[in-house]
Amino acid sequence: MSSARRAAEGNSRADRAAAVERDNPPARRDFRRYWLGQTVSVMGHQVAIFLFPTTAIVLFHASDLGVGLLNAAGTAPYPVLALFAGVVMDRRRRRPAMMWSTVGTMLALAAIPLAAAAGVLGMAELCVAALAAGSFGVLYDVANQSHLPTLLPRDMLARANARLEVSTSLAMLGAPALGGLLCQFLSGTTALAVVAAVFVIPVLTLMGLRAKEPPPPPRQPGASMFGEMKEGVTALWRHPLLRPATVAAVLRNLGNAAASTLSLLFAYRALGLPPGTVGVLFTLVGLGGVGGAWMADRLLARFGLGRTLIATCASGAVWAAAPLALWLPTLPTLVVVGASAAAWVPVWNATITTLRQSVTRPHLLGRVHATSRTINFCAMPLGAVLGGVAADVLGGAMGPRAGTGWALVLTALASVAATVVLLRSELRTVREIPGAPGEQAAA
């Protein structure tokens, strides 16, 4: 098939998806409310992630170990709770669960300024609040990804997930600056009070949705928590499209997490860049993610599912070009390499989320999503550790410049491995995202 014909077909699919959205004003209005609430929610979470360690360092002069434990408290709930959350979210309506999870996050954040005002705030209290906020965040995330297919017809999911990725990319780009300003002009604890208050907006937007959420399916007699959990894991692993996508996602996350660690080490130790320059550099790199999020649904319509995922995995090989910054103009080289890699991250996220939402039966969606996220969240810290180990070993043998440079080259191999997984699977020939067994796409 010629490239012109493929382009025409891709544009036709994108136009059909846009027509579905135009012809469904109630769904469009509901999604706009939903998108607003999601944008505020993800920005609030990202600002809180910045403020927790900042408050610990500024207010309590926390040690490196203390900051590490605080960050771990915020991320630990996912691998521990997600599978259980998946079962719970498949047993009940997700929208109320999202609202109550948001209220729980508000209370966890609001407890910090209240404890400070009472004179009882310390590192232990900060860790407990971070653990509580992270736990409510797990419940919200699992419910959120499972709820969207009940709010929109399937033909609108790709565009909706792409728009939600825009919000995530913008939040990750702007949250540190916003959190820093709030902390500087108010104080860390007062800033967390402001963030807590902002979470009222997601609650109100969820309450304002007009579409009725269907009731959960009746629970099977004698079903146990672990039995239902196993059913979700099995559904993901036995699916001919979700299994290779999950394996590829693990390899991608290992490589991306390692690259995130190594890129900082490379900037500071190999290139000797000052922190201000590194901050500007990563902001410019983050703009690539925003651009990729805006294009995610168009790329999926243009190239189809398999080619989009394969291109996304292959893009990680660009990290092999990062050491060129040792000889070429430093900042332009790093911006091009980093932005090229970052642009494909939201494309992968939006496409995989749409695939999972489309091919999974509704009564299993919470558990399948939770299984996938648990696997990926376990892969990311492992990748960060492997990146640090590679830099330490190669840096000790070759020096910091050559060692961290070669370590970045090695991270590209993870992307190559992920690409091989997809090329050897059924995904390579799939263009249109199929529906769940026994279901048809909504008109």
For the entire predicted model, the pTM comes to 0.79
- Same domain for 190 and 270, yes or no, is no
- Which carries the bigger pLDDT value, residue 60 or residue 370? 370
Q: How confident is the model at residue 65 (pLDDT cuts 50, 70, 90)?
A: low
| Per-residue pLDDT at 7 exceeds 50 | no
| Per-residue pLDDT at 282 exceeds 80 | no
- The domain boundary residue, chosen from 159, 182, 213: 213
**Under a CB-based contact definition with an 8 Å cutoff, are residues 219 and 91 in contact?**
yes
- Which carries the bigger pLDDT value, residue 56 or residue 242? 242
Residue 4 belongs to some domain of the structure: no
Q: What average pLDDT does range 52-68 have in this prediction?
A: 73
- The domain boundary residue, chosen from 213, 245, 278: 213
> What's the pLDDT at 438?
54
Residue 7 belongs to some domain of the structure: no
CA distances from 250 to 76, 420, 436 (A): 18, 13, 23
Q: What average pLDDT does range 322-331 have in this prediction?
A: 85
Q: How confident is the model at residue 440 (pLDDT cuts 50, 70, 90)?
A: very low
- Same domain for 369 and 242, yes or no, is yes
Report pLDDT digits (tens) over 132-178: 988 898 888 888 878 888 888 877 888 888 888 888 888 877 777 77
H-assigned helices in 304-440: 305-315, 330-359, 365-398, 400-423
- Same domain for 264 and 375, yes or no, is yes
Of the candidate ranges 187-201, 291-305, 396-410, the one whose mean pLDDT is the lowest: 396-410
- Same domain for 140 and 90, yes or no, is yes
Three state DSSP letters for 288-308: HHHHHHHHHHHHHHHHCHHHH
- The domain boundary residue, chosen from 213, 247, 275: 213
Q: Count the domains in the chain.
A: 2
Residue 136 belongs to some domain of the structure: yes
- Same domain for 148 and 259, yes or no, is no
Report pLDDT digits (tens) over 73-97: 777 787 778 888 888 887 888 888 8
- Same domain for 229 and 206, yes or no, is no
The CATH number for 404's domain is 1.20.1250.20
Place of tokens 């492992």: 382
- Same domain for 368 and 280, yes or no, is yes
- Same domain for 243 and 189, yes or no, is no
- Same domain for 170 and 285, yes or no, is no
Instruction: Please choose, from the candidates 147, 129, 241, 261, the residue with its C-alpha nearest in 3D space to the C-alpha of residue 193.
Output: 129
**Under a CB-based contact definition with an 8 Å cutoff, are residues 394 and 406 in contact?**
yes
Residue 2 belongs to some domain of the structure: no
- Same domain for 23 and 153, yes or no, is yes
- Same domain for 150 and 286, yes or no, is no
> What's the pLDDT at 204?
92
Q: What average pLDDT does range 259-264 have in this prediction?
A: 78
| Per-residue pLDDT at 114 exceeds 80 | yes
Identify the domain containing residue 402 by its residue range: 223-435
- Which carries the bigger pLDDT value, residue 346 or residue 438? 346
Q: What average pLDDT does range 307-317 have in this prediction?
A: 88
- Same domain for 387 and 335, yes or no, is yes
